[in-house]
Structure 1
Amino acid sequence: MSSGQSNLPPRAKSGGQSKKKPPPKKKSGVKSFFKIILILVLLAVLGVAVYAGSLYLKVENGILDTGNNEKVAPEQSAKVKPITMLLLGTDHRPETGTHLTDVVMVVSMHPETNSATLISLPRDTSLQLEGYKSNQKLNAFYPIFKTQEKKSGILAEDQMKTMLGKYLDVDIDYVTVLDFQGFRDVVNALGGVNVDVKYNMCHRDSVDGTDINLKVGPQELDGKQALDYVRYRKSMNCKPKTKESNDFDRNARQSEVLHSLIDRMKSFGGATKAFNVLDAVDDNMKTDLEKDQVKNMIMAYYDIKKEDVKFVPLTGEWRSPFVYISDSELTKAKQALKDELAGKHTREPEGTNTESASKP
């Protein structure tokens, strides 16, 4: 980004100085830049907001399609108040019509520290939470809540906010949902991702249309292949069978894909494809953020750096068919969110790795 570019307001210096308002710009689509933020927050790569300088002229004062026109009180603005958002990636796609949440993340952001902490939960987690079935995997609750909507009158997204807020001991302000098709289209819009496949992966299922066939080695994957790489669990209908994978292995692959995506986004070629990314998720994302809050978020976090996004993947013990999160791990996650909301963000030491369970 050119150092001579001054389209965005200057970042407030330490000490709580307020940011100057940006000069008036011609109208375009605020939803465009906001969708980039939401997509990449969901993908655990908030740092892509470095594109703000080149995109801001095209996004200010546009018409948003969040469907929420409620006003945001000044004291509730994301420019001054830390917020917490639930991020769900569902397996919803035309082939299945299902709504299982293969990605479940909770992110807290603080405007003064210009930072975020993101907690990632394994899809097979047993919540062990009062008032909720302990024999239900975490990824099954969203579709259950979806079927209850008409009878309960409560949106599944709100049910998820309540449940995960209780589990992590945090008030969740908003929720954003992105489905599989959106993920595939984002990868394709960026021209693919580069990964190093550690072992062969094969899984074929004619029922839901799954056809995973990846070979070991460094390679560039398209949208379908990248989704296969992230989703792969076990070998099925393949000879020879390939090595199985657990939730923690998938989290590691997810992180690898996301880092490759942000590298693509930070390249000149990625920047020129930014609006293709926006089109890619137009029909595949749902959020309850107010339109005014969207603008506040852009103002607050347009220049957040990847290094200031703390990623805390929860691990635990695999006892088929569940992942059981230890009390110490859960306490660590809760404290990380509390620290973020209190303005006490800390970076993880370089080279920190998450241990994997011993079994898939």
Structure 2
Amino acid sequence: MSPSNSHLPPRNRGGAVKQPRLPQKKKKKKSFLKSFLKLLLIVIILSFLSVAGYLGWVAYKLDNTILDTGIDTPVAPEASAKVKPVTMLLLGTDYRPKTGTHLTDVMMVATFNPDTKSATVVSIPRDTRIDLDGYKVRKANAYYPNFLDAEKKSGITAPNEMKQMFTKYLDIPIDYVTVINFQGFSDVVDALGGVDVNISMDMCYKDKADGTDINLKKGPSELNGEDALGYVRYRHSGPGCKPRTKESDDFSRNQRQNEVLHSLIDQMQTFSGATKIGSVLDAVSDNLETDIEKAQLKNIIATYWNISKDNVKFVPVTGEWKSPYVHINDDELDKAKQALKDELAGKSVQTLDQSTNDTNP
């Protein structure tokens, strides 16, 4: 039988065409889904690698900047800041290349507790009269340069002498001491893009000898490093200012230090601040001296990097000014000592000014 003469019904060409089309459509959908999933997977992998790379870069910066100043000795697991409270003496010296001086105009003792993720900070006024057995009576900020001068003879470093003295003064064991100069403070503020503060009064002071030029106006302001340094240092006006501005005592200076520290904490915990960590570490590295072990520095950074400013309690210590000293109020000093001890014990402590407000009618 000839195919051309066949009486069989013609092939259903439409059906023959439709049969392969359905798989083709499914294949297209499947192919699109596969491509999308592959793309998503690539994005996730790239994101992970970016984060890992950033963290690796931060780790590199830690190892090659600030950690270079740490002590290269191991830390026992039970002594790690991840599990054990630590107390640190923080000293800010007025050293700058133009002055060469080493007065500790900022003196803070901070206790950190890993269980509560909190810290208590006690500020000591720079003109505090220190009268301790074994030490000559001086202003608190004058001991460090004297210890520096005596290092060769005593064989004890000035930072370690300060740590021993404040351990005795505050009746609390101090584990570490960290010294940062004013240039480092200024550079850190600039690295973070400035700090936001609310200036309570106009401040003007000029000194051609060391290049100091403080000229701040009352009101909310965003300060760069140099202006932030002037803000925390300002004490009184000078002949270069017209009109002269009001004086500021040590207690107001301590309050401004705390305000700037709070602002820095806020800056560090923003996304922008986190991306600037490398610049912050660079700013610190050349201007910081510490006896903290390198491994312990990592423990501290890992444990307290995201500490809330609400969990950082500032305990002011005030007194009476009788030239040339500030005579600390004994009751306030005792409360400050207890606040540090309570932080070590993991107890919640209010700042003294909050406690005072609570007791007022």
Give the Cα–Cα distance (whole angstroms) in 2 for the partners of residues 63 and 230 of structure 1: 24
Give the Cα–Cα distance (whole angstroms) in 2 for the partners of residues 219 and 304 of structure 1: 25
Deviation digits for residues 106-154 of structure 1, max 9, x if unmatched?
11122222222111111111122222222x1101100110111111110
1:142 and 2:158 aligned: no
Under a length normalisation based on structure 1, what TM-score does the superposition of the two structures give? 0.78
Letter in 2 for 1:182: G
- Aligned residues of 1:126 and 1:322 also touching (Cα < 8 A): yes
Provide the aligned length of Structure 1 versus Structure 2. 306
Sort the Cα spacing of 1:248 and 1:67 in 2 relative to 1 into closer, same or farther, 3 A.
closer
Larger helix proportion of the pair: 2
Correspondence for 2:221: 219
Q: CA deviation at 1:222?
A: 1.4
Give the Cα–Cα distance (whole angstroms) in 2 for the partners of residues 257 and 303 of structure 1: 17
Q: How does 1:177-216 map to 2 (within 5 A)?
A: 177-216=179-218
Give the Cα–Cα distance (whole angstroms) in 2 for the partners of residues 63 and 155 of structure 1: 20
Correspondence for 1:74: 77
1:246 and 2:245 aligned: no
Q: CA deviation at 1:89?
A: 0.7
- Aligned residues of 1:28 and 1:62 also touching (Cα < 8 A): no
Deviation digits for residues 3-58 of structure 1, max 9, x if unmatched?
x9xx9xxxxxxxxxxxxxxx9x985454756xxxxxxxxxxxxxxxxxxxxxxxxx
Correspondence for 2:177: 175
Deviation digits for residues 279-321 of structure 1, max 9, x if unmatched?
1122011111112222332444344322222211211111122
Q: CA deviation at 1:164?
A: 0.3
Under a length normalisation based on structure 2, what TM-score does the superposition of the two structures give? 0.77
- Aligned residues of 2:206 and 2:214 also touching (Cα < 8 A): yes
Give the Cα–Cα distance (whole angstroms) in 2 for the partners of residues 335 and 350 of structure 1: 15
Give the Cα–Cα distance (whole angstroms) in 2 for the partners of residues 195 and 336 of structure 1: 26
Instruction: Please give the root-mean-square deviation of Cα atoms over the aligned residues, in Å.
Output: 2.7
Deviation digits for residues 86-115 of structure 1, max 9, x if unmatched?
111111111101111111011112222222
Correspondence for 1:233: 235
- Aligned residues of 1:30 and 1:295 also touching (Cα < 8 A): no
Q: How does 1:1-360 map to 2 (within 5 A)?
A: 27-30=56-59, 32=61, 64-134=67-137, 136-237=138-239, 238-348=241-351
Correspondence for 2:7: none
Correspondence for 1:41: none
- Aligned residues of 1:29 and 1:63 also touching (Cα < 8 A): no
Partner of 2:71, secondary structure, is coil
Sort the Cα spacing of 1:222 and 1:28 in 2 relative to 1 into closer, same or farther, 3 A.
closer
- Aligned residues of 1:189 and 1:276 also touching (Cα < 8 A): yes
**Identity of aligned pairs, percent?**
61
Letter in 1 for 2:107: V
Greater alpha carbon shift after TM alignment, 86-95 vs 191-200: 191-200
Sort the Cα spacing of 1:327 and 1:348 in 2 relative to 1 into closer, same or farther, 3 A.
closer
Q: CA deviation at 1:221?
A: 1.8
Partner of 2:205, secondary structure, is strand
Greater alpha carbon shift after TM alignment, 295-304 vs 159-168: 295-304
Q: CA deviation at 1:75?
A: 2.6
Greater alpha carbon shift after TM alignment, 165-174 vs 105-114: 105-114
Q: CA deviation at 1:63?
A: 9.3
Give the Cα–Cα distance (whole angstroms) in 2 for the partners of residues 299 and 281 of structure 1: 17
Deviation digits for residues 45-92 of structure 1, max 9, x if unmatched?
xxxxxxxxxxxxxx8x99931341112223322223221111111111
Give the Cα–Cα distance (whole angstroms) in 2 for the partners of residues 77 and 172 of structure 1: 15
Sort the Cα spacing of 1:221 and 1:29 in 2 relative to 1 into closer, same or farther, 3 A.
closer
- Aligned residues of 1:92 and 1:180 also touching (Cα < 8 A): yes
Larger Rg: 2
Give the Cα–Cα distance (whole angstroms) in 2 for the partners of residues 286 and 105 of structure 1: 15
Partner of 2:347, secondary structure, is coil
Sort the Cα spacing of 1:83 and 1:263 in 2 relative to 1 into closer, same or farther, 3 A.
closer
Sort the Cα spacing of 1:318 and 1:350 in 2 relative to 1 into closer, same or farther, 3 A.
closer
